[in-house]
Structure 1
Amino acid sequence: MSETYSPIPELNLLKEFDDQYTDFYSPGFELREYNNDSSWSDSASPEFYDRVIPFAQATSSGSFYALWRCDDRADLATLPVILFGDEGDLYVSAHTLLDLFHDLADEDFDGPAPVREEYLTTRRAYLAWLERNFGPTRPEHELSPMEEYGRRFADWLLSVGSEDAADVVIENL
């Protein structure tokens, strides 16, 4: 494996930041091996694996994020981000990686235990990293990610034989 985490410069920047800290900067979020599908069901078709690129854990209970290759665009950072929930939920979570990065900045720790100072320090560093690398404001979109991509994602899931997954997406529309 090469020294580079991924072929996506934005993810590589996040990986460099991530490697500097041992605590979460967004509750439950953790980068994982880029494009490793080892935790997925063996029942998915090869076409499914060709178009879905996992890259991060979304929650401490097993949900994860993946990019969906909805087309053949060269800039993978502009692909929609899909959330695969640990309890079977499935939806288009963000328009792009940059949108996800801003969403992570909006997540608050809401656990029963008091917030640790190490988490707050890491969180402040993440917010500074985000602003330094991508600016202080998130991109604006007229539609939510599900409104923009949900129907298309469900149709694609049907085309690759993932009817149950398509039903979940349709329920979330």
Structure 2
Amino acid sequence: MSEAYSPVPELNLLKEFEERLGRCCYSQAVELREFGDLHGVETYSADPEFVGSFLGFACATLSGSDYALWRIDDRADLSSLPVVVFGDEGGIFIVARNVRELFQLLGCDRAIHVWDDCAEFDEDDQEHDRETSPDHDEYVAWLESHFGLAPPSHPNELVHAADEELGAQLASWVERFVQDA
């Protein structure tokens, strides 16, 4: 890569991984796109403070849900910012406390669903019947080699912990800008 994809080293490593594969087939829950771009954020609020507080970086679903970093404060380490998902049919929810935690969730290779009251990953009991993404094993190896992380057995435990820690703060903040939030 001649230029960095983003100011977030971890996302740059993921971008390099995607480029090495030549495709995005390692998780059902992500596809990187232009860093900083967040489609439709203005439909929630056009207030510059609201719009500027999110740094989009990936599609979360084929139907239009998006991942973004929430600039909760002015910290320099953007990888430590909480990750939110903007639902294609509404809803903004905390998914992970930071980028590395999102990477763990992606290692589960499960689709994320965003409803009007929460966001969760599929957790079916029929693991053996579910097809994995073609490059999933390579992603899990990459996750371990670069960060010493493994996918959690129950991804929604991480999602719920992040929501427990930051969800009320996000909801309160969003209410300042979004009617009927």
Same fold by TM-score, threshold 0.5 exceeded? yes
Matched to 2:26, the amino acid is Y
Question: Quick check: 1:64–1:84 contact (8 Å CA) kept in 2?
Answer: yes
Query: Alignment identity in percent?
Result: 46
Q: Distance in 1 between matches of 2:147 and 2:141?
A: 10
Q: Distance in 1 between matches of 2:53 and 2:17?
A: 27
SS in structure 2 at match of 1:32:
strand
Matched to 2:42, the amino acid is S
SS in structure 2 at match of 1:6:
coil
Larger relative strand fraction: 2
Question: Quick check: 2:67–2:85 contact (8 Å CA) kept in 1?
Answer: yes
Any stretches of 5+ residues in structure 1 without a counterpart?
A: 168-173
Question: Quick check: 2:85–2:92 contact (8 Å CA) kept in 1?
Answer: yes
**Offset of residue 41 of structure 1:** 2.7
Q: Distance in 2 between matches of 1:66 and 1:154?
A: 15
Q: Which residue of 1 aligns with 2:89?
A: 87
**Offset of residue 28 of structure 1:** 4.1
**Offset of residue 3 of structure 1:** 1.4
Matched to 1:18, the amino acid is E
Any stretches of 5+ residues in structure 2 without a counterpart?
A: 112-121, 123-129
Larger relative helix fraction: 1
Matched to 2:178, the amino acid is S
TM-score using structure 1 length: 0.80
**Offset of residue 148 of structure 1:** 0.7
Q: Distance in 2 between matches of 1:163 and 1:155?
A: 12
Instruction: Note the 1:1-173 alignment, pairs <5 A.
Output: 3-21=3-21, 22-41=23-42, 43-108=45-110, 115=131, 119-120=133-134, 122-137=135-150, 144-159=161-176, 161-164=177-180, 167=181
**Offset of residue 137 of structure 1:** 4.3
Runs of 4+ deviating beyond 6 Å: 138-141
